[in-house]
Structures are given as C-alpha cells and as structure tokens.
Amino acid sequence: MKILVTGGTGYIGSHTVVELLNENFEVVIADNLSNSNAEVVDKIEEITAKKVHFEKTDLSCPTATAELFQKHGGFDGVIHFAAFKAVGESVKEPLKYYHNNIFSLINLMNEMEKYKTQFLVFSSSCTVYGQPEELPVTENAAIQKALSPYGNTKQIAEEIITDYCLSNPNFNAILLRYFNPIGAHPSAKIGELPIGVPQNLIPYITQTAIGKREKLSVFGNDYSTPDGTCIRDYIHVVDLAQAHLAAMRRIAEQKNEENIETFNIGTGNGFSVLEIINSFEKVSNQKLPYEFAPRREGDIEKVWANTTLANEKLKWKAKLSLDEMLLSAWNWEKNINKNNE
Ligand code: UD1
C-alpha cells in the first residue's frame, strides 16, 4: 500500500512514518519544511533501515498538489498532518492559518477525488471540545466555539471532511482527536523541534533542565483541580503514531461502520502540571527550577479522554507510561544538545 504522509517530517508525522515503514508500507512524505528540516528524512531512514520518498511540496498551492499526485500516480491513502499549529501565532496572523490549513486540505481532497484515493486519516485535536462539561470527554461531547483561529481550522477541517464523506459514500475518513502528544522516539533520533521559545510544556521543561531556559513558569495554581494546576491527557507520540496505523487497518479491512468516524486518541489519564514536574524530576534525577505565574489566556482547566471507542473499535490502546514519555523527551533533548556542541 502506498501512503502519502503530509507533514511527514514534522513531530507527529515523522514518528508515524517510522511506524508505517516498520510495517512495510510504501511511504511518500510531502512537506514544505516550514517547521521542520530535511535531515529528519535521513533520521527516519537510519531508524528503520528503509527508504522513504520525500517531496518538498507546498500543499496550499493547487498546482504543486496536482503535480505531486500526478508524479506518483495517486496514493492508496493519505495521512494529513501538514498544518500550522501555534495557537498564539494564529491569533496574530489568522489569515496565514486559514490559508494554509484550509487550502491544503481542499487541494488534497480535490486530488484524492480525482485519483479515487481510498481513505484519509486526519489529525484533529481535543481543542474542539474546549472545556468539556463531563470528564472524561467522549467523542459525542458538544463542539465548543474555538478559542483561536488554529482551533477553528481544526473544526472547519472536520466539517469539510464530514460534508465530503456525506456526498461521496466511496470515500472513507477517520478523524483522530489527539490529546497532548509528548515524548520522542526511543532511538532519540527524532522528536519535537520547537523553533524559538517553546510554547508547549514538555519542550519548555526539557530546555530548562538542559540550561537553555532559566526556569519554567507554571501558568496558574488556583484552578479547581487537586493541586491547583491544569490537567491534561499526555500521550506518548509513538503510541499516537500507532493509532494512525490502527485507523488505516480499520478502513482497509472494511471494518468501519460509517465512512466517517471520529476517535479520541489519549491515554484516558489526566495529569497536572505539578505531577508532570515530579515525574520529570524523578526520571531525569534533577531538580527543575520553576515558579508559579498567572494563568495563561485561553487555557482549559482540565481535560482528559474517554478512549473506549478507540480501544474497542481501533483495537488500539496507549501503552507507554508518563515516566516513559518524559524520559524519552529528556533523552531527545540531551541528544540534540550533544549534536549541537
Ligand atoms: C496546546 C494548544 C492545543 C494544541 C496543543 C499542541 C492552547 C490553549 N492549546 O495545548 O490547541 O493542540 O498545544 O501541542 O495553547 N504550561 C505551563 N507552562 C508553560 C507551558 C505550558 O504551565 O511554559 C501548562 C499549560 O498551562 C497547560 C499545560 O502546561 O496547563 C500544557 O500546555 P501545552 O503543552 O501548551 O498544551 P495545551 O495548552 O494543552
């Protein structure tokens, strides 16, 4: 089976490509390298000892997308990661986000229609739930008004794919709503590579521990949670990558009950920011400098997944523990630092 992975040199994309190659899929990566670099392709090949095709392509351009499909004679399936993802930046530059994230999806789906591509796996986010009324949150929970243009592009993309699936019964899509992906490949050859000051918790922690940042600011300690800090469902990126293979298998084996299905992809466990710090200190065997700071605007107090649907229907379950997630993130940080010395 020949799979197109858009955004395949990015954080989640690269880990998914590794899992696909390990299972002997033929993989073509399309990425414009706007938030990653081509060396990731070499690292993927080192890890898997397999070849991957790489195309530097901007999918927000219809001609480039058409050329990609033409060159490869279409694909059996597409896993679509390519998107801008910085929440704060999307508030400042909404058009950039709508242009890139929405046009790419439409261009891709136009070509998929032309080439009769069998399926699409789309990376959505738990951000669509906002602050859910009931926890753990199920896929049936109400979608809340997005708090940022980034979040809105995920909601709009879900709607576009849903409408298209209604119009075309031969097309199959699975929407995966990720919770908080963290950690890195056990080889420490690929991982998250934030440009500039990290906005997400784990890269900020590892960069502080390695000495690149002075101290972590914990955003808010007056939330209504047991220790006052926010709670999230953190999931190891390798577990998350494997969920994409499970989704593809479901469609390939024609086990999907509808031609569009949605799954929460998390562990089902919520951890607070202080619990993350404790676990990190344990696995790295060092104290992390941190201070409490005001709440960050737009943060949700607590969210974690009900993963029953994914566990039962995708026959997939997250396996790696919080300590394993943080240890792999720490090994990755140490490795990047070693290579830059
Ligand atoms: C954020 C996005 C989410 C996106 C995800 C991608 C927001 C509101 N949400 O999720 O839409 O899909 O990233 O990975 O930005 N924290 C600190 N100090 C820090 C950084 C974070 O205390 O320096 C806390 C946050 O307040 C939060 C938790 O750590 O409670 C996790 O934050 P983060 O890693 O940024 O992820 P989310 O905000 O959950």
Atom of ligand 1 nearest to the CA of 87: 15
Burial class (CB in 10 A: 0-12, 13-18, 19+), 61: middle
Distance 190 CA to ligand 1 centre (A): 21
Distance 126 CA to ligand 1 centre (A): 12
- Using most ligand atoms within 8 A of CB, pick from 230, 272, 292 the residue to mutate for ligand 1: 230
Strand ranges (E), the chain: 2-6, 26-31, 53-56, 77-80, 119-125, 172-178, 180-182, 216-219, 231-232, 234-236, 260-265, 271-272, 290-293
- Give the pLDDT score at 307: 98
- Give the pLDDT score at 163: 98
331 contacts 189 by C-beta, under 8 angstroms: no
- Give the pLDDT score at 339: 73
- Whole-model pTM? 0.97
- Using most ligand atoms within 8 A of CB, pick from 84, 299, 322 the residue to mutate for ligand 1: 299
- Using most ligand atoms within 8 A of CB, pick from 273, 288, 326 the residue to mutate for ligand 1: 273
Give me the average pLDDT of each 10-residue run along the chain (341 residues): 98 98 98 96 98 98 98 98 94 97 98 97 96 97 94 97 97 98 98 93 98 98 98 98 98 95 98 98 98 95 98 98 98 90 64
Catalytic member of 11, 97, 150, 223 = 150
Alpha carbon nearest to ligand 1 atom 11, residue: 127
Is 150 noted as a catalytic residue in this protein?
yes
Distance 285 CA to ligand 1 centre (A): 24
Alpha carbon nearest to ligand 1 atom 19, residue: 201
Q: 265 CB under 6 A from ligand 1?
A: no
Q: 200 CB under 6 A from ligand 1?
A: yes
- Give the pLDDT score at 340: 72
Distance 21 CA to ligand 1 centre (A): 30
Q: What are the backbone dihedrals phi and psi of residue 239, each rounded to the nearest 5 degrees, phi first?
A: -60, -45
Q: 125 CB under 6 A from ligand 1?
A: yes
